[in-house]
Amino acid sequence: MKYRYVILALGCLVLAAVSATAAPSNVVFLIADDISQEDLGCYGHPSVQTPNIDALAAQGLRFDNAYLTTSSCSPSRCSIITGRYPHNTGAPELHTELPAGSVLFPELLKNAGYYTVLSGKHHMGNHANVAFTKISKGKGPGKEEDWVELLRDRPKDKPFFCWFASTDAHRAWSINEDAPKYDPADVLVPPYLVDGPKTREDLASYYHEVSRYDHFVGEVVAELKRQDIFENTLIIVMADNGRPFPRCKTRLYDSGIKTPFVVHDPRRSEPAVVKSLISSIDVAATILEFAGVEKAPRIQGVSFSKILKDPKASIRDMVFAEHNWHVYRNHERSVRFGDWLYIRNNFPDQQNLCVEACIGGAGEELWAAHKSGQLTDPQANVFQNPCPEEELYHVGRDPDQLNNLASNPEQEQVLYQARALLTRWTETTGDTIPTNPTPHRDAAPGGSKLDRKAFQHLEMPGDATTATEINDPGPISLP
């Protein structure tokens, strides 16, 4: 009898230990459309009001060096959901769809018993639908208005995964009462934009949509608390690419690929700021580990669960990104390591354009200044032709990446290292430069009009090596 009580007592201790260390089961993944990291209050912006995300950051983890694999809407989302680099997904260009049979981390969760829902912006193609139990197009100008409703109506007998995808802050702007209206006099104009009235009005409208996204993040948090499951839910807040302005969206500077990234992990009691590098392809592996679901071999990303436990930990020494066709033909690659960002432009014989550099108030004033010969060197970036084949920046001393050090002999060793890292990544992941690339779909302002009806995607990066079958993650740690 005595031994029976001892065994029961030991059993109770084991159960208590398991329950104390077991991961909470629910996950809410919130992804904004076109928001740069620096445009949130918790990252130091003095004007943009984002109190709800700021609160999550103050109580949880704020990642200062979270990078996207590309700064382009659909390729970025396809990369996140598969945990693969864009040229490995089969959908590396804007408006291309994931192929059938793609690895999709929400599908792995669904197969493990999760209720999975997507609401808002989809943009990954019909073959991604299999990952979700329920799909909603969203409601309201930012597609966020049914998020709370979906949380309320979910089945209560299953763990859940929510992919809540806002269309804030994508052009065209839509102003309503869900967020503050900003005075153009209060905006911060980056040095690569023209400080004029149209640009300031453009930025003020963008700020409004950033704040509206924050408003609905707050609504989701409030609903989780109402249901008493906030402390049983992992929350990730991020964006798919940088702000929709010249030299930001599609580009490989921090304004394009450095995403806000805030995590509420209910297993943690102490807030922290994380300086370690992570990539958006790491999201899939991390959520799967959190949920206790096995990572598929095709996922190239690395789980950052170790950082959730220890914010000073590190999982990778470098992150890679790519810029492919996004209305205009492009092929840029970058590696960020240590204090350095290296960019290689494989199509230097053309302007490095994005559609956001040609539309809206900021684009209008930039092109007008170009026409009148009044551009500063930073503002002239999108008009360079030819473009520099290589760019090297010290991101600590040059946060806007304005001073290209690639030709500086003092940085020869860093340049050599950067070239070697990018070459190794290119070879191991099967990246290629298309010989018959997708052409421009639209003309630049003042150029000859192109026939949109005749446009079609041609050879894409990775096609020549069948990169969709390559699972090598490329280099992660420095030698």
DSSP 95-114: T--PPTT---HHHHHHHTT-
For residue 317, being part of any structural domain is answered with no
For residue 466, being part of any structural domain is answered with no
Confidence of residue 479 (pLDDT cuts 50, 70, 90): confident
pLDDT of amino acid 268: 81
pLDDT digits (tens, 9 = 90+) for 170-217: 999 999 999 999 999 999 999 999 999 999 999 999 999 999 999 999
Cβ density class 11-43: b for 16+ within 10 Å, e for less: eeeeeeeeeeeeebbbbbbbbbbbbbbbbbbbb
How many angstroms from the chain centroid is the CA of residue 301?
Answer: 14
353: left (phi over 0), alpha (psi -120 to 50) or beta: beta
For residue 68, being part of any structural domain is answered with yes
For residue 476, being part of any structural domain is answered with no
261 shares its domain with 330: no
The phi and psi torsions of 336 (rounded to 5 degrees) equal -115, 120
Q: Please tell me the total count of domains within the chain.
A: 2
For residue 124, being part of any structural domain is answered with yes
Query: Which residues are 62's β-sheet partners?
Result: 262, 273
Query: What mean pLDDT comes out for the span 282-290?
Result: 98
pLDDT of amino acid 191: 97
146 shares its domain with 286: yes
> What is the rounded radius of gyration, in angstroms, for the C-alpha atoms of the chain?
23
User: Where among 252, 277, 309 does a domain terminate?
Assistant: 309
pLDDT of amino acid 14: 37
DSSP secondary structure string for all residues of 406-427? TT-GGGHHHHHHHHHHHHHHHH
287 shares its domain with 369: no
264 shares its domain with 367: no
Sign of CA dihedral 403, 406, 409, 413: positive
For residue 315, being part of any structural domain is answered with no
Looking at residue 64, its amino acid is D
Would you say 307 and 274 are in contact if contact means Cβ atoms under 8 Å apart? Answer: yes
Query: What mean pLDDT comes out for the span 254-275?
Result: 95
For residue 373, being part of any structural domain is answered with yes
How many angstroms from the chain centroid is the CA of residue 477?
Answer: 22
Query: What mean pLDDT comes out for the span 38-66?
Result: 98
pLDDT of amino acid 24: 54
157 shares its domain with 36: yes
**What CATH code is carried by the domain that includes residue 375?**
3.30.1120.10
Question: Over 80: is that where the pLDDT of 19 sits?
Answer: no
Q: Write down the pTM of the prediction.
A: 0.94
Give the percent of the chain with pLDDT over 90.
90
pLDDT of amino acid 322: 98
Q: What DSSP character marks residue 71? A: S
**What CATH code is carried by the domain that includes residue 259?**
3.40.720.10
Query: What mean pLDDT comes out for the span 433-459?
Result: 92
For 120, the domain range is: 24-309
254 shares its domain with 124: yes
269 shares its domain with 365: no
pLDDT of amino acid 445: 85
Question: Over 90: is that where the pLDDT of 15 sits?
Answer: no
334 shares its domain with 437: yes
The CA distance from 111 to 98, in Å, is 19
pLDDT of amino acid 448: 86
Residues in the chain: 479
DSSP secondary structure string for all residues of 430-448? T----SSB---SSPPTTSP
Confidence of residue 269 (pLDDT cuts 50, 70, 90): confident
214 shares its domain with 141: yes
**What is the average pLDDT value for the chain, to the nearest integer?**
94
For residue 365, being part of any structural domain is answered with yes
DSSP 3-state of 253: coil
The CA distance from 249 to 348, in Å, is 18
361 shares its domain with 419: yes
pLDDT digits (tens, 9 = 90+) for 296-325: 999 999 999 999 999 999 999 999 999 999
pLDDT digits (tens, 9 = 90+) for 74-124: 999 999 999 999 999 999 999 999 999 999 999 999 999 999 999 999 999
3-state secondary structure 207-234: HHHHHHHHHHHHHHHHHHHHCCCHHHEE
361 shares its domain with 233: no
The CA distance from 399 to 409, in Å, is 21
Would you say 251 and 352 are in contact if contact means Cβ atoms under 8 Å apart? Answer: yes
289 shares its domain with 333: no
